[in-house]
Amino acid sequence: MWYQERKNKRKHSVTPQFQQCCHGGKAELPLLEQPPELLQHLLFNNVSEDSKNYQALTRIYNSMFAFTSPGMKFDERKNVGRGPPTIRIQGQVCHRIGSMLPQDGEHPKFAQLYIYDTENEIKNRIHNFRDNKEIDANIVRKLKTMLDTHNVHAKAFRMARDTLKKNPFQDLKLKLISERTTDGRIYNKPTVSEVAALIVGDIDS
């Protein structure tokens, strides 16, 4: 907890009380689940070569499997000197996701890697990084399998890939129609209980 969020900001105390973030201790967060065995090994085994490689290149491996790109305005003036890396963001933060297929002549990236040319997926993922000599293709392959097994978003994109493979000429559209009181441009997509209807076909025709 951040000390500046204490309930009584006028009083300095070694045992401050907090209200805004946890409702005075009433809010209970569920315990984190155990990570998959592979991730547990890569993160906490400091002896094996694959673990050392993963820990040294954690940011690269993490970026390699990102579904979207960040949409934000970075203030890079703060990330200078010898201190810890710092990111200062101005304005609204969002996630950008474009077409599910790359433009002609372009390499697949982000979510496209889960759908397009998956026969060469490992090679394509590594190719997106210029300094890729230290990247272990075997680790990339294992991480891909792990996400396909445990990650709901990866499963959704793989399902879309399989659907397109079965019928590549079918034009599919999925539209969620719901009643919302919040700004749809800011908040996430509606949950299942908020969905009013799913309409099959082109609603514009």
Q: In this predicted model, what pLDDT tens digit does every residue of 73-102 receive, in sequence order? A: 777 777 777 777 777 777 788 888 878 788
- pLDDT tens-digit readout, 126-139: 999 988 999 999 99
- pLDDT tens-digit readout, 55-74: 999 999 999 999 998 888 77
What are the φ/ψ torsions at residue 85 (nearest 5 degrees)? -55, 135
Q: How far, rounded to the nearest angstrom, does the alpha carbon of residue 128 sit from its chain's CA centroid?
A: 17
| 187 pLDDT higher than 50 | yes
pLDDT score for 184: 55
Residue 183: pLDDT band (50, 70, 90) is low
pTM for the full model? 0.67
Tokens at residue 170, please?
């079918």
Cα 14 from Cα 180, distance rounded (Å): 43
pLDDT score for 189: 57
DSSP string, 91-125: EEEEEE---SSPPTTPPP-GGGGGTSSGGGHHHHH
